[in-house]
Chains A and B, each alone.
Chain A
Amino acid sequence: MNPRPDDFQLIDEIAGSAEISRLTTTWSNPSGFWARLSNVDHKIIGRRYIITAFVFLALGGLLSLAMRLQLSQPEARFISADRYNQLFTMHGSNMMFLFAVPVMEAMAVFLVPLMVGTRNIAFPRLNAFSYWLFVAGGLLLWGAFLIDMGPDVGWFAYVPLSGPQYASGKRADIWAQMITFTEISALCVAVEIVVTVFKQRAPGMSLDRIPLFVWSMVVTAFLIILAMPAIMVASTALILDRLVGTHFFNPAQGGDVLLWQHLFWFFGHPEVYIIFLPAVGMVSTIVATFARRPVFGYLGMVAALIATGMLAFGLWVHHMFVAGLPRLGESFFTASSMAIAVPAGIQIFCWLATLWDGRPVFKTPLLFVIGFIVTFVMGGLTGVMVASVPFDTQVHDTYFVVAHFHYVLIGGAVFPLLGAVYYWFPKITGRMMSERLGRVVFWLVFVGFHMTFFPMHILGVMGMPRRVYTYQPELPWAALNLFVSLSSVVLALGFLVFFIDVIRSARSGAPAGPNPWQAFSLEWATASPPPPYNFVHIPVVESREPLWMQRDHFPVAEGVRFDRRELIVSGVVAAEPQARESSVGHSIWPFWAAVTTSIMLVWSIFSPWAVVWGSIPVAITLIGWFWPKGTPEDEA
């Protein structure tokens, strides 16, 4: 069970240099402008996805600093009420739809194919398409904000506020259509992840040998598949109400406003787990590597992931306690809100047991994990508090809630994510990040975070509502608000140092080698950064921690062709090889399909006919995409 003390270095002498050069040609990533737009390598797209999502994090962070500036003193005049409405809506929507969900999927796009030992993600062109659509959605939201058309109805855009009577102009439509962009792209990635994990696992990687991060991404992908259609139905209905006069949410004509809330939270609550479960997978990975032993209770962990995923759908109503529901309904949802604490508890105890029994090495990634456990437990406690209807009624729509969900989102997802960046950065770039700066980042972010958000609980109990652009000097909130605003500068500083470290290390960090942490899973069984084909030979898996078990030999599969893009397709349960399937090559069509789709979607904010005329170019680009080009990959 114990890892090898020396560095893992795989020597692959089976392939001669002629063969490797053929592999390199087949899987090459050509440079040049159009070639870059055509690229379908999951590592290149994953890297772009990660970087873009972090750019949105930085932009969303700037918005929150602007809000904190405005709230730092009573009756400040930095920002007008209207602009403030746009700020919190932009901040919330940007963070949820352009940062948190995409960044988790982006990590999976990069890592999952490597962790399951295959050459590329399933449906590589869909992957490229989803990235371009994500970018387009981001440009739409931020472009609108720049011309003072940013949405101002809150990140969940409740009707009637967002409906045709109260939200004139196109601001609410921008929000609704941004949803369409990001959800399509998220759904595409979810499908790719499911199929990659079901069908492209390395021979021998049976279900009980799948790394926990991969498990967490599979459960997440299913949550996306089952939850996101709800918000697509909701946002479509909203656009229809606003554009062509339907009455889904108009009580005067038989519609209903609570319908919006049900649809939104049927998506919105699983959304929290869509962000949180990948983080759980990251934590399990980091804990095992730095505790130097496999995670305690693997099966329990997998069961907890699945249970969390299922319970996530029983929780949506707890966002609507104050909306007035039948008593029994309230009790049911209170019970299930509390039940979700059980799998969360199991996971936390498994991590603690792993650390307890292992020989923990406190590198930066593990520091973030410790920060995560502390913060998340606190966020979970306030979560159990607001799960009780009487208490929720009291603090509803106050800063207590703002504090609670930032504890869960930043503590529960951003901390693990930062740890994950420190952990996988060497694999992605081939270079180490700085341990010294890493500690500085951790302490600034951790302390800055608690100083910023803990007082918000108190502000909430003192009655400060969320989404107010200012408050009167007579109210007893000024001192705490000033403290919060100053603390948010500390937090921001932490992120600044993080970005500096990332850029500096990418240029001149110490070379990492294939497996700098002596970790256990397959992504470390190849060079850093991995070559375009990922592995010279597709690995064969004989245990749950392949790099910790094998002593002097590393089993691989032979017989995959090197002169076309080929990989192994395997069975869902036991991962026995079934076929040598080809994997499509680079293509510009996904880019054009994303362009035409974007034109149609943006146009349809203004005219329903866009759906008719705009879909013609979409169809043309899709046909161009799927029409066979007679490449060797088309052989069967």
Chain B
Amino acid sequence: MKAVVTVDVADLPLHGSGSKSPSWWGTAAFMLIEGTGFALALVVYFYLMSVAPTWPLEAKLPDLLPGTVLTLILLASLLPNIWVARAAKRNDLRKVRIGLILMTVAGIAPLAVRPFEFAAMHIKWDGNAYGSVTWLLLGLHTTHLVTDLIETIVLSCLMFTRHGDNPRRYGDVQDNAMYWNFVVLTWLPIYVSLYWVPRL
């Protein structure tokens, strides 16, 4: 059997953007894994709630202020995030640099509020199962804030080097922005469950 050329790919681009790129799909797959993790942690929360006589279990209702401030910060951060993603899509190096610096700040701000949120629970992780699961949810989400912040900082540095101006990097910036959207969106059900469900 002889090989015969029937398709020529020489004219194709060296990198597909968005859902044409494998790394977009990789990010999506990891989001699915982590999203499942978040969903299960919430299931644990509601499961423990269903077996508890009262909820919160032997603790005051959580204070609303820190969690709500953090939620607003996260929602506000979506604006620069979408902006930097657009700039990356247009391969606009200057705007991407500015946007990433903004996103670094937007990543640090919620971390400054998060400690107050732990305090606002009025219970520690080892107080009872209610304390354990609220700290688990907060901790899980904080890990995601931290990892995405580190990724954003590394990307910002990278965009100021000679490696920056490259469609592959712009793709990374877009994937990073997509991941931040994910971190913000997963927070919303956690916020509602932690602060508003006990008030129902």
Contacts and interface: CB of A to CB of B under 8 A. Distances in A.
Interface stretch (B39-47, B79-87, B105-113, B188-196): B39-47
B11 A559 contact: yes
A630 interface: yes
A10 B2 CA distance: 6
A580 B154 contact: no
Given A255-B48, A255-B128, A579-B12, 5 more contacts: A191-B26, A195-B29, A203-B7, A619-B150, A628-B169
B16 A558 contact: no
Contacts of B41: 233
B132 A579 contact: no
Contact of B15 (A194, A557, A636): A636
Nearest to B9: A559
B125 interface: yes
B160 interface: no
A153 to B, nearest CB: 21
A579 B3 contact: no
Nearest to A14: B3
Interface of A: 8-14, 122-123, 187, 190-191, 194-195, 198-200, 203-204, 225-226, 228-230, 232-233, 237, 240-241, 244-248, 250, 253-256, 259, 262-263, 266, 536-537, 540, 550-560, 568-569, 577-582, 619, 623, 626-628, 630, 634-636
Given A9-B1, A552-B2, A581-B14, A123 B26 contact: yes
A185 to B, nearest CB: 13
Contacts of B1: 8-11, 550-554
Contacts of B132: 237, 240-241, 246-248, 255
B158 A581 contact: no
B25 A636 contact: no
Given A254-B128, A556-B5, A559-B10, A199 B48 contact: no
A568 B126 CA distance: 53
B44 A248 contact: yes
Contact of B25 (A198, A237, A245, A568): A198
Given A247-B129, A577-B7, A200 B22 contact: yes
A636 B1 CA distance: 35
B168 interface: yes
A123 B24 CA distance: 12
A579 B20 contact: yes
A263 B44 contact: yes
Nearest to A542: B6
Contacts of B166: 628, 634-636
A557 B14 contact: no
Nearest to A187: B33
A543 B118 CA distance: 59
Given A553-B1, A577-B7, A569 B20 contact: yes
B200 interface: no
B13 A579 contact: yes
A10 B10 CA distance: 23
B44 A555 contact: no
Nearest to A230: B40
Contact of B2 (A250, A554, A557, A630): A554
A556 B44 contact: no
B5 A557 contact: yes
Contacts of A8: 1
Interface string B12-56: 111110001110011001101110110011001001100110000
5 contacts: A225-B33, A229-B40, A254-B130, A266-B40, A628-B158
A418 B37 CA distance: 34
Interface string B128-153: 11111101100000000000001000
